Structure 1
Amino acid sequence: MKTDLSTFTGEGSPGFIAKVKYFIWLLFSNMFFLTNIPYPNILKVSILRYFGAKIGHHVVIKPWVKIKFPWKLKLGNYVWLGEEAWIDNISEIIIGNHVCISQGALLLTGNHDYKKSSFDLMTRGITLEDGVWVGAKSTVSGGVILKSHSVLTVGSFTSKDLAPFTINQGNPAQVVKHREIN
């Protein structure tokens, strides 16, 4: 067998209303999020809430943050989304309180089944518990839970859950030490 992308069907074609909703979101996203214009956070949060995101208080959203589907996003209180963070949430992403997602980090809920000739789409959610820090240019893949106060350091990758209060580094990320907070 060989890969045959002509047989790919994805998760099914969205209906007309879903396509219109996504198109309108893309317009707002490009106007208010994917820009250097420093729109106030309250405006960005209001737009995300209008599109179905569940968002806590005191959320900071820097310029160039890319969010695929706001209606599949839950952010707790005091969440920071750094410049060029990419929340590729085909499945639900839940982010707890006091979480920092640094610049250029990628939360990726979709992948493909390379074992099937049709290269089927596979999606799995991501959960970042309270106090998590995802370092700059790091990647978290679908189906992963970053447990309370775990850290994924700069440029690291994980496809596995991270234990609470650990600092994890590399590709694949490995525990390098215990996180102590004073």
Structure 2
Amino acid sequence: MTAKPLDATVASSVVGAPSFSRANRMIRALWYVVWLLLASWTPPPLHAWRRLLLQLFGARIASTARIYRSVNIWLPSNLVMGEHAVMGPGVTCYCQGPITIGDFAVISQGAHLCAGTHDVDDPHFQLIAKPIRIEPHAWIAAEAFVGPGVTAGEGAVLGARAVAFRDLEAWTIYVGNPAKPLRKRKQFTAPAAGH
């Protein structure tokens, strides 16, 4: 079930109305309870179990992806993770819009992927969902923030606590708030399985 924001002229969040349908809110409430009871306490190596729970709620997760127990995933059906992709401890995956994490991409501890924003010029404060794409081999470092609509190109690095509201070029290292390019990164290919 893909989330689609409600029309704010009918249901304005400014006056406390919900931004998503009742069905969406019920699925997310159920998801929260399932993760809390069946995943949030599990030992770190139980990635397969956490993958299974996410898949039951519509996530498309590769069999080698690793998701840690303390992640916060808003709506699993808006999440795609490739081979050997990692979502580390304490990551917030606020997938109001689709979030795709490519093969061998790493989202480090405490990072925040935020695929929703509001139209600040709209008196109804319309919620806007924009997809985030983290390409293969990219690294979103500890406590970094990736905003709505951003694509982190293949092999791009967003340094610790950096903030990206614009696309990150492939094989480039970014730091700061707002994120600015620091230097190019050496390109490589994926290591062989088991290495």
TM-score (norm: length of structure 2): 0.83
Task: Provide Cα deviations, 1:96-143, integer angstroms capped at 9, x if missing partner.
Answer: 100100000000011112222222211101001110000000000011
Distance (Å, rounded) in 1 between the aligned partners of 2:104 and 2:30: 30
Match of 2:130 in 1: 124
1:36 positional shift: 6.2
Q: 2:30 aligns with which of 20, 24, 27?
A: 24
Distance (Å, rounded) in 2 between the aligned partners of 1:32 and 1:168: 37
Asked whether the equivalents of residues 48 and 63 of structure 2 are also in contact (C-alpha less than 8 Å), the reply is no
Match of 2:191 in 1: none
> What 5-or-longer segments of structure 2 have no aligned partner?
1-12, 189-195
Query: Number of matched residues?
Result: 176
RMSD: 1.9
Over the matched positions of the two proteins, sequence identity in percent amounts to 26
Distance (Å, rounded) in 1 between the aligned partners of 2:123 and 2:27: 32
1:62 positional shift: 1.8
Match of 2:90 in 1: 84
Asked whether the equivalents of residues 34 and 66 of structure 1 are also in contact (C-alpha less than 8 Å), the reply is no
Q: 1:140 aligns with which of 139, 146, 156?
A: 146
Distance (Å, rounded) in 2 between the aligned partners of 1:39 and 1:29: 16
Q: 1:149 aligns with which of 150, 155, 159?
A: 155
1:52 positional shift: 0.4
Match of 1:99 in 2: 105
Letter in 2 for 1:95: I
1:38 positional shift: 3.7
1:19 positional shift: 3.6
Moved more, 111-120 or 131-140: 111-120
Match of 2:72 in 1: 66
1:43 positional shift: 0.5
1:20 positional shift: 3.2
> What 5-or-longer segments of structure 1 have no aligned partner?
none
Q: 2:21 aligns with which of 1, 14, 18?
A: 14
1:69 positional shift: 0.2
Distance (Å, rounded) in 2 between the aligned partners of 1:39 and 1:77: 17
TM-score (norm: length of structure 1): 0.89
Going from structure 1 to structure 2, the CA distance change for 1:31 and 1:39 (only over 3 Å counts) comes to: farther
Task: Provide Cα deviations, 1:9-31, integer angstroms capped at 9, x if missing partner.
Answer: 564x514x444322221111212
